[in-house]
Amino acid sequence: MPELPDITVYVEALRRRIVGQPLEEVRLKTPFLLRTVEPPLPDLIGKRVVGVERLGKRIVLEMDDDLFVIFHLMIAGRLHWKARGAKGGGRSNLAELEFPTGVLSLTEAGTKRRASLHLVRGRDGLAEFKRGGLEPLGATVDEFAARLRSENHTIKRSLTDPRLFSGIGNAYSDEILHRARMSPVKLTSRLSDDEIAGLLDATKTTLVEWTDRLRDEAGDGFPEKVTAFRPEMAVHGKFGQPCPVCATPVQRIRYADNETNYCARCQTDGKLLADRGISRLLKQDWPKSIDEVL
């Protein structure tokens, strides 16, 4: 799922292309993408884009007459920019918004249709999509600590909870925790003040560095390589590959459709964290230390 760095770069690229431009046509390829009926979609035609902003992991187009278009890309949704009249997208193409400067298209890989498009009127209508998460880049240590300690969860779960923090998901939480040298399953209630300060620093540094990296990669073009798995990442998606700090093979905890990646040497004092599937199957044969598997 695109997270804060990816969404930020999307927003910046869209601002350069569509702010001040009228929306000339909307083409929906599937009716299931649009999740609202009021105001009606035709009300958008002819309206100018006033601004583009990030709302958590959502992208919001502010239009004339106090109308707002809200994209949520979910896991497999992606945005693309193409010239007017250009073809492409195939079955994965869910919608196209045509402007004088080009066409914004929304695609979604796979067969599960999770991406969504909402149209609301006024800031009050937009408010219902705000999950309440703290913006991490502008947070003070006290604000960050208060959110972490407001509920007693694992650090990984807290960082990715949109009610607590805005824009952080599975990929960048792995990178943040590796930089902070913290276990993903440590409880937030057990964090010291110094650990929280270090975690905030790792959060800001990781998100800023990746935003800059993605911004440089896109340049003046439109970001087309938005993915949660990048070769430059330290641990996310790197199961079995060497940690860039200590060269120990990266480990994982798998659950549902996600997995958490971590370095046992750097983050858990060598302890292997229990996997909900395999560790339950192996029971007493599950290795307790990274040294047992090397």
Give the end of a domain, one of 93, 127, 161: 127
Q: What is the CATH number of the domain that holds 121?
A: 3.20.190.10
196 with 286, same domain?
yes
Q: Indicate the pLDDT class of residue 88, thresholds 50, 70 and 90.
A: low
Answer yes or no: do 159 and 98 share one domain: no
Q: How many domains does the chain have?
A: 2
| Last residue in a domain, options 101, 127, 153 | 127
Query: For the segment 204-240, what is each residue's pLDDT rounded down to a tens digit?
Result: 999 999 999 999 999 999 999 999 999 999 999 999 9
Beta strands in the chain (DSSP E): 25-28, 49-55, 58-63, 67-72, 77-82, 93-99, 102-108, 116-121, 251-255, 258-262
Pairing of strands 93-99, 25-28: antiparallel
Residue-wise pLDDT tens digits, 20-55: 999 999 999 888 999 999 999 999 999 999 999 999
Residues 157, 196, single domain; the answer is: yes
pTM for the model stands at 0.93
Same domain, 123 and 265: no
| Residues 24, 97 contacting (CB under 8 angstroms) | no
Pair 204, 149 in one domain: yes
Query: Is residue 291's pLDDT more than 70?
Result: no
Same domain for 152 and 242 = yes
Per the structure, the complete domain to which residue 42 belongs is given by: 4-127
CATH classification of the domain holding 245: 1.10.8.50
Query: Helix, strand or coil for residue 100?
Result: coil
Q: Are 287 and 255 found together in one domain?
A: yes
Which of 75, 106, 127 terminates a domain? The answer is 127
